[in-house]
Amino acid sequence: MGLLVDGIWDADATGDSVASDRFERSKAQIRNWVTKDGSPGPSGSGGFKAESGRYHLYVAWNCPWAHRTLLMRALKGLQSHIPISVLAPRRTEAGWVFDPENGYVDTLSGAAALHQVYAAGTQAYTGRVTVPVLFDTASGKLVSNESAEIIRMFNEAFQDLAGNKSDFSPAHLLGEIDNWNAYIYPKLNNGVYRTGFARSQTAYDEGVKDVFEALDRIEKTLETSTWLLGDRLTEADIRLFPTLARFDVAYWSAFKCNLRRLIDYPNLWAYARRFHALPGVAETVKLEIYRRGYHSPSEVRNPHGIVPLGPLVDFSEAVSGTAP
C-alpha cells in the first residue's frame, strides 16, 4: 500500500510483508512519549508535556490499532483535550486519505493524505504510514505511531486532565496486564491477520489454531471473572476488545477464522457486550464499516468485492447481571 521513502511517497513500495508464506507485521518507528512534565519516556526524545488541546490524534474507524486509542481516550474522558481527525475507511494508491465529501476531513491542517502529515511531522521519514498517529501541534512533530504506547500515555500522562481518574494500568497489576498483552497480541490481535493473510495451508492452520486457542483460554478465564484480571477493567481488556468487535462481521468470514463465532462463546459474548456498554465505547464501534472494509476488493481474498449481509451482530443486547 505504499511507503514514504526519505519523506517522499512511493505508491509501489510495500510495508507489511509475507516471509515465504507467513504474514509479518512491521514495527512502529516513531516512539516518543508524552509525559506529565515533558521529560523523556521509555523511548524517543523528551519535550512532549501533557497539555490540553496540544496533541492531535489521527485514526481510522476500521483500524483495530487506532480503535485502542479511541477507547482509551473515551474511557479516560479525554475527548475535549485530544481532538481527532478520521481517515476514510478505504486506502488508495496514496495510502490513508481523507474524503471531505463524505465527512473525512483533516481538521488540523486540511491535508489530503496521511503521508503529508507524516512528511510534515518528521525529517526524511522512511517507512509505513499508519494509524493511529499522535501529532504535537506545539512542535509540529509526530510523537508516536505505536498504539500500545499511545494508550499508556493517555492513561498515565494525561491523568490530571482526565474526566475519569481510573488507572487502567496500575503498578501492582502491570505484570499481569503485560502478560495478557504478550499472550493476546501474537495469538489473537495479530493472529487473525496471520490467518487472513496466510499464503499456505500450513501458515493458515498455524494462525487459526492460535486464534481459537486464545479465545478458548479467555472464555475459560471469564467463567469466574468479570474482566481479564478479575473485577477491575484494565488496559488488557482495552487491547482485546477491538478484535472482538470485528470478529463476527469481518474476521470470521473475510479472514476465514471460522471455527466458531464470538457469539458461540457465552462468556466472551457477554464480556464483549459488557465492554460495549461502558461510557463512550459504543460511539467508537462501526460494524458496517468493518464489514465493508474487510470485504473490500482484494485480488487474493475477495476478487469480486462481494460484501456479505451477515452475520448480524447486536452488541446492545442486554447482559444478565451487572458489571462492577
Residues contacting residue 83 through CB under 8 Å, at least 6 positions apart: 53, 56, 57, 107, 108
Catalytic: which of 125, 193, 290, 294?
A: 193
271 is known as an active-site residue? no
Task: Map the chain to HEC letters.
Answer: CCEEECCEEECCCCCCEEECCEEECCCCCCECCCECCCCCCCCCCCCCECCCCCEEEEEECCCHHHHHHHHHHHHCCCCCCCCEEEECCCCECCECECEHHHCECCCCCCCCEHHHHHHHHCCCCCECCCCCEEEECCCCEEEECCHHHHHHHHHHCCCCCCCCCCCCCCHHHHHHHHHHHHHHHHHHHCHHHHHHCCCCHHHHHHHHHHHHHHHHHHHHHCCCCCECCECCCCHHHHHHHHHHHHHHHHHHHHCCCCCCCHHHCHHHHHHHHHHHCCCCCHHHCCHHHHHHHHCCCECCCECCCCCCCCCCCCCCCCCCCCCC
55, 58, 63, 257: which is the annotated catalytic residue?
63
Q: How far is CA 66 from CA 44, 231, 246, 260, 303, in A?
A: 21, 26, 13, 26, 27
Instruction: Answer yes or no: 193 catalytic.
Output: yes
Instruction: Tell me the C-alpha distance between 22 and 223, whole Å.
Output: 34
Angle between helices 147-156 and 64-75 (to 10 degrees): 0
Active site members = 63, 193
